Amino acid sequence: MMRRLHIATALALLLAGTAQAQNAADAYYDPQAMAAARAALKKSHGNQINSLVIAERMEYIQGDDEDAFVWEAQGWVGTDLNKLWVKTEGEYVDGEGTEEAELQLLFSRAVSAFWDVQAGVRHDFEPNPSRTHLVLGAQGMAPYWFEVDTALFLSDEGNVTARLEAEYDLLLTQRLILQPRVELNLATSADEEVGIGTGFFDSVAELRLRYEFRREIAPYLGVSWGGAFNNTADLVEAEGGDATGFSVVAGLRIWF
């Protein structure tokens, strides 16, 4: 039987030329079944769709004069190179309701080993009036293991703002991790309706200490200092508030 099959191969090769040689099994099995198996093999060896949801911060903030709940989460779905990326963050202030809530929908493209370029839209549901922005950003890992997320936003009012977030995981033990984090927001022009003046706003320096019970689940405690600077600080102070403040946070980091 084997010999007969070899003759069949030889004939197939003669008839089909070398193109046939790339799919030797077609001479022994239904070529259609082989084509389907080849396609499945290819997809399952490097072209899978994967996903991640990570809520990096879901925390309760005890500030100098108000308490709040803050969330920051992101998720992606896609291949190694192309992903649909969603980011959301916001703040609910005790007694006052949701003061900030934004959602970004981005296309993310891996452009180098450690960096993705991201483009899409961002909508701020709060504060009122709401704003919609075009987003162009880069997210990835800088040398020395700094996780960096940075973006430019062009609002429907024509305002350009920039955001830079950077964090670092310092492993005290295998599960106890100290994470310094900075976030800088910079406005090139004022958008006073939503409380933004030129210069730095919503900028913080923070430190969180988390314990990874499992890699996926980690409660934490932390401290945060920052707030409004430059012209935004003037706006806040004109309303009788403190431009910057110190707060203590407690929260949960989860991913799945």
47 touches other proteins (CB under 8 A): yes
Q: Is the dihedral of CA 159, 135, 165, 216 positive or negative?
A: positive
Q: Which of 4, 15, 46, 97 is in the footprint of other proteins by CB under 8 A?
A: 46
145 touches other proteins (CB under 8 A): yes
144 touches other proteins (CB under 8 A): yes
User: Which positions ≥6 away from 192 have C-beta within 8 Å?
Assistant: 235
Are the C-beta atoms of 195 and 230 separated by less than 8 Å? no
Half-sphere exposure of 197 (CA within 13 A, CB side): 13
Q: Which of 143, 158, 238, 239 is in the footprint of other proteins by CB under 8 A?
A: 143
In whole angstroms, the minimum distance from the beta carbon of 90 to other proteins comes to 24
160 touches other proteins (CB under 8 A): no
Count of residues near other proteins by CB under 8 A: 52
Omega into 127 within 30° of 0, i.e. cis? Answer: yes
Q: What part of residues 216-255 is at the interface with other proteins (CB under 8 A)?
A: 216, 255
- Residue 139: its H or E element: strand 131-142
Residues β-bridged to residue 254 = 55, 217
11 touches other proteins (CB under 8 A): no
The region of 16-24, 65-73, 120-128, 194-202 touching other proteins under the rule CB under 8 A is 16-24
Task: Report the Cα–Cα distance between both ends of the chain, in Å, rounded.
Answer: 52
**Distance between CA 179 and CA 203 in Å, rounded?**
17
The region of 143-151, 152-160, 187-195, 228-236 touching other proteins under the rule CB under 8 A is 143-151
In whole angstroms, the minimum distance from the beta carbon of 173 to other proteins comes to 6
- Closer by beta carbon to other proteins, 113 or else 238: 113
In whole angstroms, the minimum distance from the beta carbon of 137 to other proteins comes to 16
